[in-house]
Every structure is written in C-alpha cells, then in structure tokens.
Amino acid sequence: MTSSTSIDRTSSRAPRFWRGVAAEFALILGAFALGTSEFASMGLLPEMARQTHASIPEAGEFVSAYAIGVVVGVPSIAAIAAKASRRTLLVSLLGFFILGNLATALAGHYGSLVAARFVSGLPHGAYFGVAVLVAAHMAHPGKRAQAMARVMMGISLANLIGAPLGSWIGEKLGWQATYIGLAMLGLIAGGLCRATLPELPAARDASARRELGALTRLQVWLTLGMGAVGLGGLFSAYTYLAPALAEVTHAQPSTLPLALCVIGVGMFFGNFVGAWMADRGVMQALGGLLLLNVATYALVYFSLHNLLALLANIFVAGLVSIALVPALQIRLIDVAGQAQSLGAMLNGCAINLANAIGAALGGAAIAAGFGVASTGLAGAVLALGGLIIFGVAVAMDKPGLPSGSS
C-alpha cells in the first residue's frame, strides 16, 4: 500500500515538474526575444542609418527611442494592468512586442523608424518585471532568487547569441529581416506562455494607486538613478561599438559579430557573478561594481587602437555592468514596499534609462567633435555618476534620515 502511494505521488509530481520547466523556458524565450530586439539594434545601427539617410549620432535615436518606450511603458502598464492575471498580461505584452517589431521592419523613413522603436520598447520593462515575479512564484521555497536569475539570463543570452546572430542576419538579408525574425520568435514565446503558465490572478487588493505608491519613496528613485546613470556606461560604449571598430580599431566588418559575442559572454557570466555577490550583500555589491565600472570604461577608451585589448576590455565591461542587475533588482523590490510588481518592473526601466542616457551622451560626445573613441570616457563619467548616487543612497539610509517616502 505504501509503495503504491509513493509511486502515485512520484508520477503526479513528474508532469508538474516538466510543466514548470516548459513554463520557465517560455519566460526565458520571451526575455531572449525582447533582449535581442534591444541589443541587435546597436549592431544594425550603421545600416539603419544609411537607409534612413541619418548620421550615426542621429541613428542613436533609434536606440534611445526604444529605451524611452520602456520608461514610459513601466508605470503606465503597472497602473493599467494592476488587476490583470499575470499570464494574460505576459501574453498581451508579447503581442505588443510582435506588433512593434513588425512596425520596425516596415518603417520607411527616419521618423517612422524612431516611432516604431518607441512602440517596441513599451512592453519591455513590464515583461521582465512580471516574468521574474511569476518565476519566483513557481519556484520552490529557497530557490526563488535562482529562478529570477534564470529569467534574467534571457538578456545575457540575447547578447551572447541574439545580437551577433541578428547582426549576421542583417548583414546577409537586410536589417529588416532581423526584426521580422524577432516578431516570429515573440509569437512562439507568447504561445508557449499561454499554454504552460498558471493563471496567477493579481492580489485582491491590487490597485493602480498601490503600485504607483512606490514612486513616492526616495530610495526607489535613488536606486533607479544608480542603475540609470551607472549602467549608462555600457550603452555609451556598446551603442557605438560598430563605428568604433571601423574608424578607430580599423577592424574588418566581420569582426563585429565576434565583438558582440565577446561582450555577450561577459554579460552571461556577469548575471551569475552579480547574483552571487548580491546574496552576500546588496549594497556592498552595488558599490564595488560601480567602482569597477568607472575603471573598466576608462580602459575601453585606451584600448580601442588594439583589437585584442579591446576584446578583453569589452568582455570585462559586459561582466561588471550586467553584474549590477541582480543587486539592483533585489534593492528595488526591497525598497518598493507593497508595490512588488512595479518594484520588479523598475529594474528594466533603470536598464533602459541607462540605454537612453548612454546612447545620448555618447552621441553628443561624437557630435561635439571628440570622436567615436570618446564614448568610453563618457561611459566612465556615467559610472562615476552612479557611484555618487550610491553614496547619497547609503547616507540617506542611515537611522534618523528620511529614507522611505520623499
């Protein structure tokens, strides 16, 4: 009798286990698609600029527009969809992602392409925020952080595989083909999410007011600033990596996918290094990593004339930048109070604010005549700005100082 009961329990657990694996794969695939849509644009930038008759600094607006879409989308979607089930919300966000990427592929001139990239960015931060919360809900107690890290691994894989592959497809078939492929990938991820995820209704007391209440907390804004400014160095250098390789390093065009792959490997390992560091102290991890970012991007500037040195530096740059993300995620959830959904979404918002700020500052440095090599120094300045904001957050977090509501 006991043996029969044990067999029944084992057999009933097996389908749940594999359904959980399939659901997590669906979340990671969606994260991979969104991450690739964001980062592939940087490798495709010269071709997109050429076809829309834009300069390289002007084409940086394609990257910034996506990032601004993320920033606008996070609070808007958090408020509008506060009572929606998590599965329905994720599927809807992927549907919006599909439309945005199809609009990108069909855009015929500069203005329409900027608008299409803005629309494509709207679901990005909300998807990542909801996806990590769903992954944490499905995980066993004590393994929630690992589940969240695996979903965020989609960004690392997007840099390791998606961005180089997107650049290669764009080079062979035209940049529009990359975005058509991403729309198809979004369709597959949406179907898998619909088939495998549990419904997960929102909390009964969920409301737009409760979610947006996180935005009244000073530490939320300071943490957002740490990420938005401190991570900007990555995007200042990464956005203009293609023209830097051509104009300063004098590398062959075929080197770009290799360089994107190298920085992607750094980001892949950075996700796990950052999670390990955050488990041992969130604020210590943030401070140490921001300091490393300052040094790393200063070295990127000095290594641009040597391909091997540049590849080594961009590997480290990808690692120390993305290592910030797990600590930022935990910090935002911790300081958001009851607004857990918005707190989780704001990490994607911070990353894409960094994208917009980094691309804009790098483009401004080039337009001012400092040359494409100056984007490394611009990155170091942004990392230093993030470190200063970190210092303010630590000071305001001391007992007796107003660290909660503003």
Q: Of 351, 156, 149, give the one whose Cα is nearest residue 268.
A: 156
- 406 within a domain of the structure (yes/no): no
Q: Residue 56 corresponds to which tokens in the numbers above? A: 């390289």
pLDDT at residue 303 above 60? yes
Calpha distance 154→31 (Å, rounded): 5
Confidence band, pLDDT 50/70/90 cuts, at residue 406: very low
User: What percent of the chain clears pLDDT 90, i.e. is strictly above it?
Assistant: 15
- What pLDDT score was predicted for residue 202? 61
- 401 within a domain of the structure (yes/no): no
Q: Residue 299 corresponds to which tokens in the numbers above? A: 């070295």
Q: Which residue has the tokens 């076809």?
A: 51
Give me the number of domains the chain comprises: 1
- 127 within a domain of the structure (yes/no): yes
Query: Are 349 and 125 spatial neighbours (Cβ–Cβ below 8 Å)?
Result: yes
| Dihedral of alpha carbons 133, 137, 139, 142, sign | positive
| pLDDT mean over 335-353 | 76
132-146 pLDDT per residue, tens: 878 877 766 656 666
Which domain CATH number covers 289?
A: 1.20.1250.20
Query: Are 116 and 100 spatial neighbours (Cβ–Cβ below 8 Å)?
Result: yes
Q: Which of 8-17, 20-29, 188-197 is the least confident region?
A: 8-17
68-107 pLDDT per residue, tens: 888 888 778 877 776 677 788 899 999 989 999 999 888 8
- 359 within a domain of the structure (yes/no): yes
Confidence band, pLDDT 50/70/90 cuts, at residue 13: low
Query: Are 81 and 89 spatial neighbours (Cβ–Cβ below 8 Å)?
Result: yes
- 108 within a domain of the structure (yes/no): yes
Give every CB contact of residue 39 below 8 A, 6+ residues apart in sequence.
158, 159, 162, 163, 166, 238, 260
- 405 within a domain of the structure (yes/no): no
pLDDT at residue 403 above 60? no
Confidence band, pLDDT 50/70/90 cuts, at residue 333: confident
Query: Are 170 and 256 spatial neighbours (Cβ–Cβ below 8 Å)?
Result: no
pTM of the model: 0.72
> What is the three-state SS of 196-248?
HCCCCCCCCCCCHHHHHHHHHEHHHHHHHHHHHHHCHHHHHHHHCHHHHHHHH
The range of the structural domain enclosing residue 217 comes to 2-396
What angle is formed at CA 193 by the lines to CA 189 and CA 199, rounded to 5 degrees?
A: 165
- 312 within a domain of the structure (yes/no): yes
| pLDDT mean over 148-162 | 80
Confidence band, pLDDT 50/70/90 cuts, at residue 404: very low
- What pLDDT score was predicted for residue 54? 74
Which of residues 301 and 206 earns the better pLDDT score? 301
Instruction: Kindly report the average pLDDT of the chain as a whole number.
Output: 80
- 376 within a domain of the structure (yes/no): yes
